[in-house]
């Protein structure tokens, strides 16, 4: 059973600060990793994907991947109140019929206060 673990939070940061969200995964063979943002009552929205070790930046978002440590993180710079949401870490299944399915963590609730 593949597991994806996230800091349950909630995480609260002031506007303009850096929010750091962390995720670990159990399957060493995992190759593809995703961060979704979910506002209350809405669908998960894909905000970042990362496949290689290192950092990937997109605007105010940076995803970091360390496969040796089985660790993936999301940094949000200059946090805004509109970033307040639940952030879901997801890992793709590998091999056989499970290729393609996503394994999710329970999510970290982020609140950015003005």
Partner 1 sequence: EAGVTQFPSHSVIEKGQTVTLRCDPISGHDNLYWYRRVMGKEIKFLLHFVKESKQDESGMPNNRFLAERTGGTYSTLKVQPAELEDSGVYFCASSQPGAGGYEQYFGPGTRLTVT
CB-CB contact of 52 with 33 (8 Å): no
For residue 17, give the DSSP letter: S
From residue 83 to residue 102, the character string flagging contacts with partner 1 as x (rule: CB under 8 A) and all else as - is: -----x---xx---xx-xxx
Q: Select the residue interacting with partner 1 from 9, 11, 104, 111 (CB under 8 A).
A: 104
Q: Select the residue interacting with partner 1 from 56, 60, 67, 106 (CB under 8 A).
A: 106
Q: Which tokens go with 32?
A: 């593809």
From residue 18, how far is each of 15, 44, 71, 95, 96 by CA, in Å? 9, 22, 19, 36, 39
Minimum distance from residue 113 beta carbon to partner 1 (Å): 25
d(CA 20, CA 23): 10
Q: Which is nearer to partner 1, 4 or 76 (CB)?
A: 4
Residues forming the site for partner 1 (CB under 8 A): 4, 32, 34, 36, 42-46, 49, 51, 88, 92-93, 97-98, 100-107
């Amino acid at each position: 059973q593949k597991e994806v673990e996230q800091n349950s939070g909630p995480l609260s940061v002031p506007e303009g600060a850096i929010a750091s969200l962390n995720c670990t995964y159990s399957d060493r063979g995992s190759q593809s990793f995703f961060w979704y943002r979910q506002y209350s009552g809405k669908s998960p929205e894909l905000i970042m994907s990362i496949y290689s070790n290192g950092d990937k930046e997109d605007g105010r978002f940076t995803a970091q991947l360390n496969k040796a440590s089985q660790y993936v993180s999301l940094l949000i710079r200059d946090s805004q109140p509109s970033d307040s949401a639940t952030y879901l870490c997801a890992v793709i299944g590998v091999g056989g019929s499970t290729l393609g399915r996503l394994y999710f963590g329970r999510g970290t609730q982020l609140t950015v206060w003005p």
